[in-house]
Homo-oligomer: A and B are copies of this chain.
């Protein structure tokens, strides 16, 4: 089913900095004969996997794709439970929260809860980030064994640093970052898993560095920790480490 793989490759092109695609974009990005690219996009259009923007030749994901992320969320008890916790914490503290999943060396947010404070971190749902460069990602990587992480990041220059960070996360029970991915933005993240389905998600709160002191941070960690601990207990996540602040 090489068409399917080609179609998937096209969809993968809609990355962080590519809101739309033309036939020649696809030719360039995937190195495909343009006859194929043309027919492929046409077929994807007819299947509602893509749609053209206005009457231009630019394509974006089609209506069919709009509901799938929601279906993903609905398929997972774990995501639902985690969303309740983060929604509550986001509402209480006024900061933006996420639920994220890991996919190899990347993490993606699957749900977001906008903060209510005047100064808040803007949601970036649907953007893939390198797992090792964010608190969310590290909280998820920390769930993997030391060896698994080594295998995943074999040959990666950041492996040594990462290992140290992860053992700290494993010990603390939460991941923390201060102004790492974005200047002025701090994040806390706690992961929890559903052993029945092998899923792991990260509960994350992001907030402006200038607005929160250590005490405020610890209150948020405690709030997430409490919710995560209950989820871990209910679903039987024996690997869960209760955060120690």
Contacts and interface: CB of A to CB of B under 8 A. Distances in A.
A103 interface: yes
Contact of A1 (B18, B39, B72, B103): B39
- SS of A interface (majority): mixed
Given A14-B67, A75-B60, A54 B108 contact: no
Nearest to A46: B5
Interface string A47-66: 11100011110001101111
Nearest to A94: B116
Q: In the assembly, how many copies of this chain are there?
A: 2
A4 interface: yes
A43 B4 contact: yes
A1 B43 contact: yes
Contacts of A61: 68-69, 71-72, 75
Interface stretch (A136-144, A146-154, A171-179, A195-203): A195-203
A114 interface: yes
A221 interface: no
Interface of A: 1, 3-5, 7-8, 11-12, 14-15, 18-20, 39-40, 43-44, 46-49, 53-56, 60-61, 63-76, 87, 91, 101, 103, 108, 110, 113-114, 116, 125-128, 196-199
Given A53-B76, A61-B69, 18 more contacts: A1-B40, A4-B47, A4-B49, A11-B65, A11-B68, A14-B68, A19-B71, A54-B196, A54-B199, A60-B71, A60-B76, A63-B108, A65-B72, A66-B68, A68-B69, A70-B127, A73-B126, A91-B116
